[in-house]
Structure 1
Amino acid sequence: MPELPEVEVVRRGLQKWVQGRTVTGVEVVDPRSIRRHTHGTEDFRSQLTGARIGAVVRRGKFLWLPLLHDSGELQDSEAAGAGSDVALMAHLGMSGQLLMQDPDQPDEKHLKVRIAFEPRADAPDELRFVDQRIFGGLSVTSLVPTSDGLPGGLGDQAPLIAAEAAHIARDPLDPSFSVEAFMAALKRRRTGLKRALLDQSLISGIGNIYADEALWASKLHYARPTEKLRPAEVAELLQNVRAVMTASLEVGGTTFDSLYVNVNGASGYFERSLNVYGREGQPCYRCQDNGLLTLIRREPFMNRSSYLCPVCQRKR
């Protein structure tokens, strides 16, 4: 599954190419990809056609585009999505791609939805949703007020959030993320540390890859009890989570599957910089730098795997 950096790469691409543009046409090639839009294909088309994209917003791995139905020019406002009560919601699933293409480009093999914009000289004019495995999809959803009155997510200052994302916590790259609130919630949860990092009601956007990488960087075992963590350890862990995700963003995310691409169809390269995830039986880089030969271990965890160094990340 794509994690926060991969979705943020897509958000930034869409922000560049579609924010402020008006939808001129919609083609639903495969209705299965708008199954979450319960009012059907014609309603999906009518909600989008003529609407202007106010912003491109993300919280965790949730991505939405507020739809403005006025005829005025997009204002240089802090809240680009203000005035909208609906948004185009994008679920990437396991293989969903949002690609910006020119109309004369051949259709992709697994094209599901095509959204056309008014022509702009410096930008492609079509947004295509491509999905091989059909776990993702598009829908028009309601925007609801945020519970704390703060911006709903990264990309817009409006205190609104897509209804489907209202239940999840803020992510560590969100400017409104509260370290103090997270520390308090972590203490109360009384669970294993990695379980807490993957709990979207505590902190959103962290998946298996970046959890393992941040835990290795922090020298913390994935099963460490959350109530036993010192504030300094939590602060360092959050710092490493942000550092790992930021480094991934700089190279376009992590790609183990050719289906994970940005809006221009390019793959990410962060897998070449992973320190622990997927490196079972290979030397720990930190131990190696200290003159030790310690092999990375893979252990079963919640129907998946955890990768760790048995020396650097001892279970206390």
Structure 2
Amino acid sequence: MPELPEVESVRRGVDEWTAGTTITGAEVADPRILGTTSQRRIDPSAVSGFVSAVTGQRILRAERRGKFMWLSLGEGAVSSSVSVASSVPRPELGILVHLGMSGQLRIHSPDEEIHRHTRAVLHLDSDRELRFVDQRIFGHIGVQPLVHGYGRLVPASAVHIAADPLEPAFDPEAVVGELAKKRTAIKAALLDQTLVSGIGNIYADEALFRAGVHPLAVPARTRKSRLVAVLESATKVMSDALAVGGTSFDALYVNVNGESGYFDRALLVYGRGGQDCVRCGTEIAKITVGGRGTHFCPECQKAPRYR
């Protein structure tokens, strides 16, 4: 599933092409895309409701928190950091886009061929189309009210999602304080999107390796300085990945122009089980933590010994 760097790469491209444009119409080729992975039985009125809600709306900007992305809709350019209590006009609706494992947002000219896995299309007054392509239909799209959550306006279904390391609302000191209370494996804690968002399986493994922390270490029994190092490593590794467009392992993750990311070439442990560690030569191990495949170096990331 795309993690923060991949979603941010898509967001930047979408924002470049759509900010300030008006949605002149919409099509939903497959109503299932309006549901979620756990709810694909869609009321027939959902399609007409979606089309009606978005048609005529102006896209103010493409925004993101963690792995969640949305298009803020409204009549004027306002800051996403505007307080709910402020009298300055603010967007009230957003088009939430969850890419899932196979979703793509692609910019096309109207005369370009429609991909067979295109599930929804937004027609823009810029003579462009924003198409949602999803081979496996693990993603979804829908209109939601924007509400106040962790210092900014976010779609209602994402109000519980914590700030991510690359946004101004992120408070690393507060996150370390909460992380230090966790008695689960640190790998599992990093994947908890209500603690810190955007970190998925790939970047959790990479951050722990860079910080020299074992994935089974218990945060509540780990020095805070080491927890700080993990968060700093997570921020750095995601920034590095973002600089090269994210991580692509197959053709399912691409940006709005259909281009893949290249960070897979710089991964130090993720996906390298059985290979030699780039630092010490020890064989990279693979275990399961919280149901997720986890890669680490037994030498560089010593197993914790608690008394």
Same fold, judged at TM 0.5 (above) = yes
Q: In the alignment, which residue of structure 2 is the partner of 1:86?
A: 93
CA distance in 1, matches of 2:161, 2:79: 23
Q: In structure 2, which of residues 247, 264, 271 is the aligned counterpart of residue 254 of structure 1?
A: 247
1:118 aligns with 2:125: yes
- Give the TM-score of the pair, scaled to structure 1: 0.88
- Give, as a single letter, the amino acid of the residue that structure 1 aligns with 2:241: S
- Give the TM-score of the pair, scaled to structure 2: 0.91
Conserved? CA contact 1:54–1:80, under 8 Å = no
1:55 aligns with 2:43: no
Quote how far apart the aligned CAs of 1:301 are.
Answer: 2.1
Q: In structure 2, which of residues 297, 302, 305 is the aligned counterpart of residue 314 of structure 1?
A: 302
1:103 aligns with 2:110: yes
Change (3 A) 1:180 1:208: same
Quote how far apart the aligned CAs of 1:80 are.
Answer: 8.7
Q: In the alignment, which residue of structure 1 is the partner of 2:278?
A: 285
Conserved? CA contact 2:72–2:93, under 8 Å = yes
For the residue of structure 2 that corresponds to 1:201, the secondary structure is coil
- Give, as a single letter, the amino acid of the residue that structure 1 aligns with 2:265: R
Conserved? CA contact 2:209–2:300, under 8 Å = yes
CA distance in 2, matches of 1:244, 1:95: 23
1:128 aligns with 2:131: yes
Q: In the alignment, which residue of structure 2 is the partner of 1:20?
A: 20
CA distance in 2, matches of 1:35, 1:194: 30
CA distance in 2, matches of 1:312, 1:119: 53
1:1-316 equivalences in 2 (<5 Å): 1-35=1-35, 40-68=46-74, 70=75, 74-75=76-77, 77-79=78-80, 82-119=89-126, 125-146=128-149, 148=150, 150-151=151-152, 160-287=153-280, 293-316=281-304
CA distance in 1, matches of 2:200, 2:93: 28
Conserved? CA contact 2:253–2:260, under 8 Å = yes
CA distance in 2, matches of 1:278, 1:143: 37
For the residue of structure 2 that corresponds to 1:44, the secondary structure is helix
Conserved? CA contact 1:26–1:45, under 8 Å = yes
More deviation in 32-41 or 136-145? 32-41
Per-residue deviation, residues 117-167 of structure 1 (Å, max 9, x unmatched)? 1126xxxx1100001101112100111122x5x22xxxxxxxx11111101
Conserved? CA contact 1:55–1:80, under 8 Å = no
CA distance in 2, matches of 1:266, 1:169: 29
- Give, as a single letter, the amino acid of the residue that structure 1 aligns with 2:185: G
Conserved? CA contact 1:193–1:223, under 8 Å = yes
Conserved? CA contact 1:34–1:139, under 8 Å = yes
More deviation in 304-313 or 32-41? 32-41
User: Across the two proteins, how many residue pairs are aligned to each other?
Assistant: 292
Per-residue deviation, residues 48-97 of structure 1 (Å, max 9, x unmatched)? 110001121111111111111x4xxx44x434985221110101111010
Per-residue deviation, residues 193-212 of structure 1 (Å, max 9, x unmatched)? 11110111111111111000
Flag structure 2 segments of 5+ consecutive residues without an equivalent.
Answer: 37-41, 83-88
For the residue of structure 1 that corresponds to 2:252, the secondary structure is coil
Per-residue deviation, residues 15-62 of structure 1 (Å, max 9, x unmatched)? 111111100111111111123686511111111110001121111111
For the residue of structure 2 that corresponds to 1:188, the secondary structure is coil
Conserved? CA contact 1:169–1:201, under 8 Å = yes
Flag structure 1 segments of 5+ consecutive residues without an equivalent.
Answer: 152-159, 288-292
- Give, as a single letter, the amino acid of the residue that structure 2 aligns with 1:78: S
Conserved? CA contact 1:254–1:270, under 8 Å = yes
CA distance in 2, matches of 1:221, 1:79: 37
CA distance in 2, matches of 1:307, 1:215: 10
* RMSD, matched Cα: 1.6
For the residue of structure 2 that corresponds to 1:83, the secondary structure is coil
For the residue of structure 2 that corresponds to 1:253, the secondary structure is coil
- Give, as a single letter, the amino acid of the residue that structure 2 aligns with 1:88: I
